[in-house]
Structure 1
């Protein structure tokens, strides 16, 4: 704020402004209400759905002379300021409609690309609000909610040469069975455009380029794993990252093809790998910045340092050709790094479950310490009798792979007593869930205070380790890493006589609720009690994206085999 001379933040219901010159802070008044913008359709409706977006204004061409819009399900154009419409398409209908939300003009304003959509099955789920605030009688409502196996919207890219009113048919042989297609994006020369194809079942994911003059297509990159491609963005915990360099002359791409999540440099013209940028038995977690001018990538990764918790996140920089790896973080902990705008300095905030947060200012040029900004003091917390969770590692089902977890004990812990054990579980394949940074662990600690030892474990089938580690979940969510979890419990009991594995309970929510009940159904010899909340007990009944990603498509016997019902 104020030309970088002040910062603002919200505290409770007020906005505060702090000036960097004197560190003086003033209350700028109540928080301004944010404008409400209801989405045109709920995200649970499934992929596609662009045809549901109504009321968008006409799309003006880059040269400012034409507007494109939808009229009676067809694409039309008109001169800016004119009401006279020119049809570009005539085959649009309720069941085969063009979508304004997908329209993109070529940079030279000569062509228009758009998706034509055949709507899928509009599944609805229904709710009854028994006791609404504004009336005595109940209310009913419904929500669009696609489930595994449903017929989805089918999108087909179409290109129009505007002056000639000519449609260019796009060859769909490279995208025959889409789960979803990404937005159409033109190259700067206006001769090509690209989109991403996510095939139903998630075993094929492609970057596809269209020749705008002929409609011919080619796969610039085709990712074809034997199990699944985790297509969620890497910045949100997924395994997909793409950066086009010099308008697609090169592409930086993330892949698990060698068994670990790494970055590759592609030749955009030939579709061939120029070189693997990162490699080793560790995983790239996310990409912070691609510096095209210096041909460098700033990224985070875990598992690179031998002898360290493989989930600890560290920050690095590497050259496009795979040389010049620089580590910005060193402490054995999980790090969150924030760089200055010119990347000359960075703040490194790090902690562990047994180490309160430390914030340091460092130079990017040599990673030297400028100053320690803050070091949290947990002495008052420890004075209450609270103790750090114990990090515990044991071998998994294969007697080779390390399985990591934490142990939380009551503040009144007596090593001569035997304590029943409660496991907190969430085994969703989309992430890893054992805490790695400092926290009082209030939920787990509160349970421990009732006279339990409380634990959390990341078994096989979860993310942020090798591809093989996560693949255990494929078509088998019922596994939930239980063979690893049980081995881990047994290892703890072998070390500590206070750990009573004849009395083991388990609890979880959502996918964790499914896991908790699954513990009793599939492993009753070990787990005695379960508490399940909001469990997705049959994956055929839950949202489409999450369940088809791990359980695959089409619906087969694997769904019934993993069901708690």
Structure 2
């Protein structure tokens, strides 16, 4: 039977995956300790150094508990070093995309006693809690101030006192959470637990954006919408001023290191994008706000100073930018293994592609050893380093840009080899134990995913997830076929594409085609991951073809391919969709009068930009969800990375907006949907576009609004409704209901 949308939304085609947290128990030479949640929510610790038996112990044998007569359900848990205590979180409340408020507790494994993180105070407003590597103290953030809880002494010390709506300690503000750290933490412990580095964000000059919430808060609060103000810097406006501060756990003294002011970036032009402890020192990655100047700062907490040790400017090279990465890996000195000085592995640009290089000593201005090179790229690398064997593991696109395979190379650049099976198509993910002796290898496609546990030193392998039930379930459905190919859109520009065909595809029929796009800089939609998605439903149930094209600006095809979109977002990406659609329209099995395009977020922007540039010549229909419509409305850190500031590129911003709205009248019809509570792509984008429509009497569109939903559109059953409406709308479009 066809893949039904209801089955898809119920998770019938979900992939089972084991997700484990590797632990370091502090025992030299011991590797393989892990923690995970079992099906009942209990915290289980196992030891993969006994691969054949996988012995486990249960640290927390409850999934809920009562305290002072109230029931609490455990949602997250983090074992401390020594596995004697476990940090628990209950009653989480969502904040932004990655952050939440919660109630935190300390659980004693032997006595099974549970006590609040803050003694004698139950509070659901803790934004972050993080163990020291030594397992004796916990850093946490309450009301934007940093605190330290001494576990054994049951004492709490307040470290900062001026945290407020303008000042954040140890947690990112909105823009740093969304665009830099992709998480809720801005604290970094030294390995010995003697120092804590933490970010201070001063948002005093950052403008506020107000979001009205109509239904999220109970009516008892009043008959007026609740207004939530967010410190949100739009392109060209003031960014938060960020500084890396330190806490000395010996004296509980807070200090700000003195950095070489002559070479360091100024407050209003500084982004801190990565912080890495490199032994006794801290390496800080900084870029200017337009992300084309990189400075590596090395800080010595003992002497409380630092300096810029490496810098690179790409503005005059390839016109590209520096993406935010969190993969710099510290390589400690060890003369027994031939490492005379401390060093680190970083991703660098080699002949226009992202590759790995080994720097040593820490203040080296150029690499000691280039580890990889060629017309392909490393991805989120390195994945791990085995310091005993000098082996560097990493994922890369060496075989094919739509695949991910695991490779290894030695620190001296020799013995490059593949670890995953490169003889067959594969898209792999990896999770290494703390010492890189064990590997959870996830095969994510193109066939049904599975997971295996490998002992890299002993050569043993255990399959821990097969997804046999999913494979059997798929036998009952008309699963569409996916065809990957490269096409030339113009000149020497080659792009990756995929085509999803109905299972009973007939080349003599004339099929409608739905283009699915994201298209943002450095992104990738065309890959060989297994998925049963909305697009698979469209192909299976609506007897249509779905096409994705990764045009210029997308990732893993080299910097030249990406950088061409700089300062003029929307032009080349839309052009490649149109050129590809023109080729598909000439295929014998395609009905050229029924070609549509759809996307969400950047994909919503690209849907509208493509319809604008095409003017109805190729695409008849479009569906745009939560679209950016003018980059002056979006946040500074993301936008200026690709567009520079509006002050430096006014014409580019003007041209990248959805501006020629009368061209959209060339399409037969299109759909726009947005959530009013979108803290990411503000509803302002869609309202500004609708105003342009009104002024130009553009009326060939439908619109649907989701009260209080954020960018993911989930509030009050909205996620089910948004896909129902997409499904019904495109079905009617392909049926010819939306006429000339």
TM-score (normalised: structure 1): 0.75
Change (3 A) 1:358 1:205: same
Cα distance in 2 for residues equivalent to 1:169 and 1:539? 36
Change (3 A) 1:221 1:500: farther
Residue 438 (structure 1) aligns with? 530
Change (3 A) 1:512 1:52: farther
Residue 415 (structure 1) aligns with? 507
Cα distance in 2 for residues equivalent to 1:358 and 1:172? 52
For the pair 1:293 / 2:388, whether they are aligned, the reply is: yes
Q: Report SS of the residue matched to 1:146.
A: coil
Residue 181 (structure 1) aligns with? 272
Change (3 A) 1:263 1:441: same
Change (3 A) 1:32 1:478: same
Residue 327 (structure 2) aligns with? 241
Spell out the pairing of 1:355-434 with structure 2 (5 A cutoff).
Answer: 355-359=447-451, 364=456, 374=466, 376=468, 378=471, 381-382=474-475, 384-401=477-494, 403-411=495-503, 413-434=505-526
Cα distance in 2 for residues equivalent to 1:329 and 1:435? 17
Cα distance in 2 for residues equivalent to 1:223 and 1:141? 43
Cα distance in 1 for residues equivalent to 2:90 and 2:229? 23
- Counterpart among 318, 322, 329 of residue 409 in structure 2: 318
For the pair 1:150 / 2:150, whether they are aligned, the reply is: no
Cα distance in 2 for residues equivalent to 1:71 and 1:421? 59
Question: How many pairs does the alignment contain?
Answer: 516
Change (3 A) 1:196 1:16: closer
Residue 232 (structure 1) aligns with? 324
Which is further off, 372-381 or 410-419?
A: 372-381
- Output the aligned Cα RMSD: 4.9
Q: Report SS of the residue matched to 2:286.
A: strand
Cα distance in 2 for residues equivalent to 1:15 and 1:108? 29
Cα distance in 2 for residues equivalent to 1:167 and 1:533? 44
Measured against aligned partners, the alpha-carbon deviations of 1:8-31 in whole angstroms (never above 9, x if no partner) come to 6454x7659799979999996666
Cα distance in 2 for residues equivalent to 1:185 and 1:351? 30
TM-score (normalised: structure 2): 0.59
Measured against aligned partners, the alpha-carbon deviations of 1:314-362 in whole angstroms (never above 9, x if no partner) come to 1111111211112111132212345567756655443544x33355566
Residue 256 (structure 1) aligns with? 349
Cα distance in 1 for residues equivalent to 2:34 and 2:344? 38
Residue 205 (structure 2) aligns with? 121
Residue 375 (structure 2) aligns with? 281
Aligned-residue offset at 1:282: 1.0
Measured against aligned partners, the alpha-carbon deviations of 1:258-294 in whole angstroms (never above 9, x if no partner) come to 2111011123244222121111111111222123333
Q: Report SS of the residue matched to 1:521.
A: helix
Spell out the pairing of 1:209-228 with structure 2 (5 A cutoff).
Answer: 209=298, 218-226=307-315, 227-228=319-320
Residue 57 (structure 1) aligns with? 147
Residue 237 (structure 1) aligns with? none
Spell out the pairing of 1:17-166 with structure 2 (5 A cutoff).
Answer: 32-33=74-75, 34-36=89-91, 54-57=144-147, 69=159, 119-132=203-216, 134-135=218-219, 137-144=223-230, 145-155=232-242
Unaligned runs of 5+ in 2: 1-19, 26-31, 47-51, 65-72, 76-88, 100-140, 151-156, 172-185, 334-340, 660-740
Cα distance in 2 for residues equivalent to 1:103 and 1:362? 32
Cα distance in 1 for residues equivalent to 2:373 and 2:291? 24
Measured against aligned partners, the alpha-carbon deviations of 1:488-527 in whole angstroms (never above 9, x if no partner) come to 3344455x40113343211111111101011111122322
Q: Report SS of the residue matched to 1:548.
A: helix
Change (3 A) 1:188 1:22: closer
- Counterpart among 657, 661, 677 of residue 563 in structure 1: 657
Change (3 A) 1:203 1:390: same
Cα distance in 1 for residues equivalent to 2:255 and 2:390? 41
Residue 333 (structure 1) aligns with? 426
Measured against aligned partners, the alpha-carbon deviations of 1:389-441 in whole angstroms (never above 9, x if no partner) come to 2223212333352x222222334544322122111111111421224122233
Cα distance in 2 for residues equivalent to 1:380 and 1:68? 55
Change (3 A) 1:500 1:197: same
Cα distance in 1 for residues equivalent to 2:529 and 2:419? 18
Cα distance in 1 for residues equivalent to 2:645 and 2:33? 54
Measured against aligned partners, the alpha-carbon deviations of 1:437-466 in whole angstroms (never above 9, x if no partner) come to 222334442365324321112112111221
For the pair 1:516 / 2:607, whether they are aligned, the reply is: yes
Aligned-residue offset at 1:188: 5.8
The question of whether the paired residues in 2 share the 8 Å contact of 1:265 and 1:277 is answered with yes
Cα distance in 1 for residues equivalent to 2:168 and 2:453? 53
Residue 497 (structure 1) aligns with? 588
Aligned-residue offset at 1:155: 4.3
Q: Report SS of the residue matched to 1:540.
A: helix
Residue 473 (structure 1) aligns with? 565
Aligned-residue offset at 1:168: 7.9
The question of whether the paired residues in 2 share the 8 Å contact of 1:59 and 1:69 is answered with no
- Whose helix proportion is higher, 1 or 2? 2
The question of whether the paired residues in 2 share the 8 Å contact of 1:131 and 1:137 is answered with no
Which is further off, 101-110 or 144-153?
A: 101-110
Change (3 A) 1:333 1:22: closer
